[in-house]
């Protein structure tokens, strides 16, 4: 009998995160769609539920460690085990190392890097206990040293940190829980803009692939278009 898995997606209310929620639900997973604001989570979840998909909305603000642990507590109380964690929510601010505002630098590191750390700490230990888990850190080519960290400074540095978190966490886990990072490509969302060459559904593809890896899949890798790419 196939076990039904539950996936939690951060920043699931719009853009790539929303496409990931929809695709995972269509593939038969129960989905916890989280968003910074409870009302946005509820609205997006009920739209997907209206299409017959099993999607529950929950508030989870990546900038607030307590909001992450509160969300984990509510799910525990409801008897929901998170088997798949998609760290998707992020912010992008312009500016280089010297010109970016301190406030935006802190927000980028808090949300894009530490937010993923808080969710991993909230959900991965139970995955280890249950002997199954998939973590997908949605990173970016702009966070890759191999591609020159070629984006706005606070974003590139936060995503390089997210890549480092991926390697470091993967090293501490057995193969039952796999942690990988990926770049979704350039995607038409509020962040990617209207000229990007991919739809949110196309951007979701490698994320969903990593979220549903079979046993024996890769651990601690960085992927684009379902293929390994350089850190």
Ligand X SMILES: NC(=O)c1ccc[n+]([C@@H]2O[C@H](COP(=O)([O-])OP(=O)(O)OC[C@H]3O[C@@H](n4cnc5c(N)ncnc54)[C@H](OP(=O)(O)O)[C@@H]3O)[C@@H](O)[C@H]2O)c1
Q: How far apart are CA 165 and CA 172, in angstroms?
A: 11
- Segment near ligand X (CB under 6 A), from 49-57, 122-130, 171-179, 187-195? 187-195
Binding mask 106-135 for ligand X (x = CB under 6 A): -----x------------------------
Strand order in the sheet with 133-138: 55-59, 30-35, 6-9, 84-87, 133-138, 177-183, 222-224, 227-228
What angle in degrees, to the nearest 10, is found between the helix axes of 15-26 and 38-50?
A: 40
Q: Which is nearer to ligand X, 129 or 197 (CB)?
A: 197
- The CB-of-113 to ligand X minimum distance in angstroms stands at 11
Binding mask 133-162 for ligand X (x = CB under 6 A): -----x-x----------------------
Q: Rule CB under 6 A: say whether 213 interacts with ligand X.
A: no
Q: Rule CB under 6 A: say whether 11 interacts with ligand X.
A: yes
Q: Which is nearer to ligand X, 178 or 181 (CB)?
A: 181
Q: Which is nearer to ligand X, 14 or 74 (CB)?
A: 14
Integer angstrom CA distances of residue 117 from 113, 147, 202 = 7, 24, 26
Q: Rule CB under 6 A: say whether 66 interacts with ligand X.
A: no
- The CB-of-49 to ligand X minimum distance in angstroms stands at 18
- The CB-of-25 to ligand X minimum distance in angstroms stands at 17
Q: Rule CB under 6 A: say whether 32 interacts with ligand X.
A: no
- Segment near ligand X (CB under 6 A), from 25-33, 74-82, 85-93, 122-130? 85-93
Q: Which is nearer to ligand X, 5 or 159 (CB)?
A: 159
Given the residues 118, 155, 222, 223, the one annotated as active site: 155
Annotated catalytic sites, by residue? 155
State the residues that interact with ligand X by CB under 6 A: 10-11, 13-17, 35-37, 40, 61-63, 88-91, 111, 138, 140, 183-184, 186-187, 189-192, 196
């Amino acid at each position: 009998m196939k076990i039904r898995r539950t996936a939690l997606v951060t920043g699931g209310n719009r853009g790539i995160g929303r496409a990931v929620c929809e695709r995972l639900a269509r593939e038969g997973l129960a989905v916890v769609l989280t968003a910074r604001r409870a009302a946005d989570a509820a609205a997006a979840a009920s739209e997907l539920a209206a299409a017959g998909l099993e999607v529950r909305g929950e508030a989870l603000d990546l900038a607030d460690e307590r909001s992450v642990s509160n969300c984990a507590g509510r799910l525990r109380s409801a008897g929901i085990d998170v088997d798949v964690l998609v760290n998707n929510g992020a912010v992008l601010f312009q500016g280089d190392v010297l010109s970016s505002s301190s406030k935006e630098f802190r927000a980028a590191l808090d949300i894009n890097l530490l937010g993923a750390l808080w969710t991993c700490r909230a959900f991965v230990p139970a995955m280890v206990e249950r002997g199954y888990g998939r973590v997908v850190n949605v990173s970016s080519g702009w966070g890759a040293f191999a591609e020159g960290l070629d984006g706005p400074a606070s974003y590139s540095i936060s995503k390089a940190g997210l890549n480092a978190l991926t390697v470091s966490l993967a090293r501490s886990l057995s193969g039952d829980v796999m942690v990988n990072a990926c770049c979704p490509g350039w995607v038409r969302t509020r962040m990617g803009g209207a000229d990007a060459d991919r739809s949110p559904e196309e951007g979701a593809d490698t994320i969903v692939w990593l979220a549903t890896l079979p046993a024996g899949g890769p651990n601690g890798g960085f992927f684009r278009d379902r293929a390994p790419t350089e850190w």
